Structure formats: C-alpha cells, structure tokens
Amino acid sequence: MSLEERLLAGDERALARAITLVESGAPHGKDLLRRVRREGPLASSVRVVGVTGAPGSGKSTLVDRLVEASRRRDRRVGVVAVDPSSPFTGGAILGDRVRMTRWHADPGVFIRSMAARGHLGGLAAATLQVVALLDAHGFDDVIIETVGVGQGEVEIVGVADCTLVVLTPGQGDGVQAVKAGVMEIADVFVVNKADHDGAARLVRDVRAMLDLAAPGPGAFLPPIVETVASEGRGVDELVVAIDAHLARLEAGDGLAAKRRGRARHEVAALVSGALARLVRALPDDEMDAVAAGRSTPETAAERLIDRLAARSEPAGVTLFEGQPDDADGASR
C-alpha cells in the first residue's frame, strides 16, 4: 500500500510520516499533498478551531479540555501547536510532551508541534498543509493552538472555522492587550482563570470594547465565555458556544467562506514564500543603485515581478517545490 493509501485509510504511522515528508518540503511530499487533496473527501466535514492567547493564559490546559470534550463525543481530534516565535527555552515543547504522554494510548488524539524555523513557504502555509493531512486522515476536529497574540499568531489561527481568543484577568493592561487584528479574528472570547480577581471587570471591559466596535445597534457580537480550565469549569459552555458559532456558519454561506479564506491564505503564503526567496537573491548592485538614488524602489519592484513571472530564478532557488507539471513523477 502506498503512503497515500495508508494515510487515507487512517493509518497512524502513515500520518506522522506524511507530515514529516510534507514539512521537509521535498517534492514527493508536495506530490503526496496534492494527491491527497484531490482524492480526499470533496465535502470535508473537519471542524477547525483556532486558539490564541498570551503566554500564561492557560491556553494549553484549555486545549486539553477541548480534546477531552471531543473524545467524550467520540470525535477524533488533532492538535497542531504552533510557535511562530521559537523561544530559546524548550518550555512549549516540554508542555507538549506532557500532553502527548497523556493522550499517547488514545489513537483518536494526534498532537503535533511546529516551530517557525525551516518552513520555506511560511509557517501559516505549513500549518494549513498539516491540517489538510489530518483532514484526509479522517479527523473530525482539528485545534490549531498558537503561543501569543501577535501578527504571526493572528495569521495562523485566523483561518480556523472558529477562533478563540483567550484572556486572563490581571495580565498587565487587561483588555488593552487585545490588539487590533486579534479582536477582529475572535469568534468567541474566553476569559480563563475566571476565579481570579478582576475576571468580572475583564468581561465587562471586553463587552464594552465589542459594543464600541459593533457596526450598529443589535449587531451580532462574539460571545464571552468564562472558564477555569484547570478545573474544567465552563468548558461545556465553551463547547456550546463553539457549536453555536459553527451552526451559524453552516446555516449561511459562512463555512464555505471560511474554507475559501483558508485556500486564499495558502495561495498567498506560497507566493509570499517564493517572493521572499527572490528578494534575498536580489543583486547587490541593483540594491546599491536604489540606496544611492540612481534607481527607485518602484523600478526595482517592477523588475522583481518580471523575474517572478519569468520563473527566472537564481541558482539554488525554486519557486514551488514540486510544480504541478511534475505530478507525473509522483508514482513512487
């Protein structure tokens, strides 16, 4: 049986191997992904939940509770823990190991960590590729978890069907920590550690912020759910809020729009990755000319686009590994 067949049949070791292969950026990893996408279920029913929040907000514990909730409903769940900042310590990875040990014996749970390094096409694109593999493998739920609330995190979890933004009372500047961009991606706000001082105030502040930003009176606002993840409190309510959001999406064009958004995002990430490689290869003398005012950034930008279009890549730089054209070589 080929790796692809084993993956589609739900073989667990095939999944881990497929992810490693795709992450490596090797041509037959790309081929595998392409075939899986073509032959996988056309109307996928995977539910993708994104979770983001500042370090220390209890995000991982909350995700663990969501995994429990999925398993109670007999749904298979994959967790992709993404760290766009790769801190120096192994803290995040250690935490993942603890979780991995806990769910180790359960074939219905798959946990994978991804760091920023080594993803030529960008971490966001790589995350979406792993989600596609989990989908092909038959997972019902996928949780994308990111550390932090910056630009990179927004980019990664913002493409989920339902995005949770986790806040906790007493985190410095409270609601001011919710940056623009983060607010816009939140489908559900979670106030975790709701038994701590200042939780009620934080809920009020978030609500006031949402009211302020509402397009008009009576506009639908994202719900705010209070949880104490460490004790499992509020998790049922959170699951209800997630279900309600997804039901609302399904009732309209929302779910299709979310999937379209993911596709758009992945296409953009691929081209951005190719562009970044070409930018690094821009000739020094051309850049010196711009720096000295003999040329302009706009002129150089036009030339860069021409190079991108001509696929006239410098040695050692490839636009997309495994072009659609060489799908023929994919029979291994």
Task: Tell me how far apart the alpha carbons of residues 155 and 181 are, in angstroms, rounded to a whole number.
Answer: 9
Choose between 56 and 107: whose C-beta lies nearer to a copy of itself.
56
Distances (CA, A) of 94 to 22, 65, 101, 115, 274: 24, 18, 11, 13, 33
Minimum distance between the CB of residue 177 and a copy of itself, rounded to whole angstroms? 9
118 binds a copy of itself (CB under 8 A): no
Q: How many residues bind a copy of itself (CB under 8 A)?
A: 78
Instruction: Give, as ranges, the residues between 259 and 278 that touch a copy of itself (CB under 8 A).
Output: 259-264, 266-268, 270-272, 274-276
Site string for a copy of itself, 77-96 (x = CB under 8 A): -------xxxxxx-x-----
Which residue carries 């996988």 as its tokens?
Answer: 40
Choose between 65 and 193: whose C-beta lies nearer to a copy of itself.
193
The stretch near a copy of itself (CB under 8 A) out of 7-15, 221-229, 236-244, 294-302 is: 294-302
Minimum distance between the CB of residue 310 and a copy of itself, rounded to whole angstroms? 8
The stretch near a copy of itself (CB under 8 A) out of 72-80, 184-192, 230-238, 296-304 is: 296-304
Total residue count of the chain as it appears in this document: 332
Non-local (6+) Cβ contacts of 254 within 8 A are: 248
Given CA atoms 193, 194, 195, 196 in this order, what sign does their dihedral have? positive
Instruction: Give, as ranges, the residues between 157 and 196 that touch a copy of itself (CB under 8 A).
Output: 172-173, 175-176, 178-181
Distance between the two ends of the chain, CA-based, in angstroms?
Answer: 11
Task: Tell me how far apart the alpha carbons of residues 74 and 76 are, in angstroms, rounded to a whole number.
Answer: 7
Residue among 93, 210, 282, 330 that touches a copy of itself (CB under 8 A): 282
Token duo for residue 276: 């970044």
Token duo for residue 299: 């002129």
328 binds a copy of itself (CB under 8 A): no
Choose between 74 and 325: whose C-beta lies nearer to a copy of itself.
325
Instruction: Name residue 286's amino acid.
Output: E
Instruction: Give, as ranges, the residues between 225 and 254 that touch a copy of itself (CB under 8 A).
Output: none
